[in-house]
Chains A and B, each alone.
Chain A
Amino acid sequence: MLRQHSYWQLFSAVCKKDVQLAFRQRAEIVNPILFFLIVITLFPLAIGPEPGLLARMAPGIIWVAALLSTMLGLDKLFRDDFNDGSLEQLIASSYPLPLTVLGKVVAHWLITGLPLVLMTPLFALLLNLDSQALVATVLTLLLGTPLLSFIGAIGAGLTVGLQKGGILMSLLVLPLYIPVLIFATSAIDTSTMSLDYSGQLAILGAMLVIAIISAPIAISSALKVSVS
């Protein structure tokens, strides 16, 4: 077992490779944002354009749209590496697989989650959110979207070996997203009532920490099942 690189070098190399790939095919970054924007446009058309109603429903709309748009990128997370065989090499290498997986998930968040967080002010304008709720929305998305990437990657790892994994993956993953959705939307709701919402943020943070520790292990055992 020869390890020429440090763990940090491995992590950053994996992460950088995925981000670089995404930047070379811009669609991967732009499409989830466009999808998010279109979903948000659909809601006022469907439920009516009254500003009060929209502001009331905005947290839910933003978060449901965020769930759906992170699902879009998840299918691609391991698919390309699986198809060209590099996933097998990563598993066979002497470096710990959970670390490699952590790098890939962080890259996925940088590609799909972070742009959403950065675009939130625009969405808040569309949905008539006030500045207090906007801050809460940004904070919950900042804590919540990495959580979505981690949980979703478990589903992606389980279904990567399957032909039609996409729909199945959303079936597996969406029920697991429910706690994130509940705490995030309730934090935003609480903020619109000018109350303290640090409790909800703390729980989201705690769930994120647990996910960072335990999800890579689950993802790597899922990948081993899929590749074997």
Chain B
Amino acid sequence: MWKWLHPYAKADRAYQLCNTLLPYFAVITVVCMLVGWVWGLAYAPADYQQKDSYRIIFIHVPSAILSMGAYSSMAIAAVIALVWQLRNAELAVIAIAPVGACVTAIALITGAAWGKPMWGAWWVWDARLTSELILLFLYLGVLSLYHAFEDKKAAGRAASILAIVGVINLPIIHFSVEWWNTLHQGATITKFDTKAIDSSMFWPLMVNIVAFAGFVGTVTLMRLKNEILQREKHRPWVRQLLNRG
């Protein structure tokens, strides 16, 4: 793995890799998002009970899944940054963090919008909601720690450490919150566990999940490119690139 990874420790190679990957991610995102949204929002059958309002699932569930996914990829980048001392991995941590925070916020907001007509409340202290909210706090912690440091090198390392501490805590938080909730109020709404989803709704949902994954990847790559350029702005290859474009 080291042999494969090693060339990308150099900033310009990493930048090139971002450039090669970016079109693929962008195409996947645009195609899947168009297909998924049109399919999900217009053609998938309406739910027998929730009617058309269930359609927010096609945004809510992908963003919730990606909020966890983005955090774990951020933590993986953080481990790589600390163990192999790759500065590009530190930049990746910072590139992912705001994207992940946004996706988490989308999941929370769409969840609230869905909860109002269905449960009759914007917010319920349900285990899933609570752990998602805490996830948002963890993202914001990483971000604010990074921006508090003047020295961006130390900032990247500190943010990486916090991301790793967070990922160790995340399952503990998740299960403790679940346990806390079930202890206090026995039957809560566990919609996805009790009812398997019909395939006419399942496939557009899958397409939307891929679309969101592509979206997170695209934005992260774009942010990573920017971070690399900013960090390396005094290097000749960046100057060349900027003069050319």
Q: Is A121 an interface residue (CB 8 A)?
A: no
Chain A residues whose CB sits within 8 angstroms of the CB of B172 once the complex forms:
179, 207
Q: Does B166 contact A (CB under 8 A)?
A: yes
- Choice from A174, A176, A183 contacting B165 with Cβ under 8 Å: A176
Q: How far is the CA of A175 from the CA of B170 in the complex (A)?
A: 10
A190 CB to closest chain B CB (Å) equals 8
User: Does A186 touch B at the CB level, under 8 Å?
Assistant: yes
Q: Give the residue of A154, A179, A222, A225 whose beta carbon is less than 8 angstroms from that of B173.
A: A179
Q: A225 touches which one: B141, B154, B164, B168 (CB < 8 A)?
A: B154
How far is it, in angstroms, between the C-alpha of A186 and the C-alpha of B175 when the chains are bound? Answer: 14
Please report B residues at the A interface, Cβ cutoff 8 Å.
82, 134, 137-138, 140-141, 144-145, 148-149, 154, 157-158, 161-162, 164-166, 168-169, 172-173, 176-177, 179-180, 183
Contact A182 B154 (CB under 8 A): no
A186 touches B154 (CB 8 A): no
Nearest neighbor of A175 in chain B, beta-carbon distance: B137
> Closest Cβ of chain A: how far from B134's Cβ, in Å?
5
Q: Name A171's closest neighbour in chain B (CB-CB).
A: B141
Query: 30 A-B Cβ contacts within 8 A?
Result: A158-B145, A158-B158, A158-B161, A158-B162, A159-B145, A162-B148, A162-B149, A165-B148, A168-B144, A168-B145, A168-B148, A171-B137, A171-B140, A171-B144, A172-B141, A172-B145, A172-B162, A175-B134, A175-B173, A176-B166, A183-B176, A186-B179, A186-B180, A207-B172, A214-B168, A221-B161, A222-B158, A225-B154, A225-B158, A226-B154
Smallest CB separation, A45 vs chain B (Å)? 25
Question: In the assembled complex, which residues on chain B have CB atoms less than 8 Å from the CB atom of A161?
Answer: 149, 154
A218 to B168, CA, bound (A): 11
Interface residues on A, range: 20 to 34
Residue A228 CB within 8 A of the other chain: yes
Count A-B pairs with CB separation below 8 Å.
67
B181 to chain A, nearest CB (A): 9
CB-nearest residue of chain B relative to A169? B145
| Nearest-Cβ distance from residue A173 to partner chain B, whole angstroms | 9
B134 contact from A164, A178, A221, Cβ within 8 A: A178
Query: Chain A contacts of B145 at CB under 8 A?
Result: 158-159, 168, 172
**Contact in complex: A221, B177 (CB < 8 Å):** no
Asked if A226 and B183 sit within 8 Å, CB to CB, the answer is no
Q: Is the CB of A179 within 8 A of B161?
A: no
B172 to nearest A CB, angstroms? 5
Query: Which residues from B are CB-within-8-Å of A168?
Result: 144-145, 148
- Assess the B169–A179 pair: CB atoms within 8 A: yes
Apart from A162-B148, A168-B144, A171-B141, list 9 A-B contacts with CB within 8 A.
A154-B161, A158-B145, A161-B154, A172-B162, A175-B137, A176-B165, A176-B166, A178-B134, A221-B82
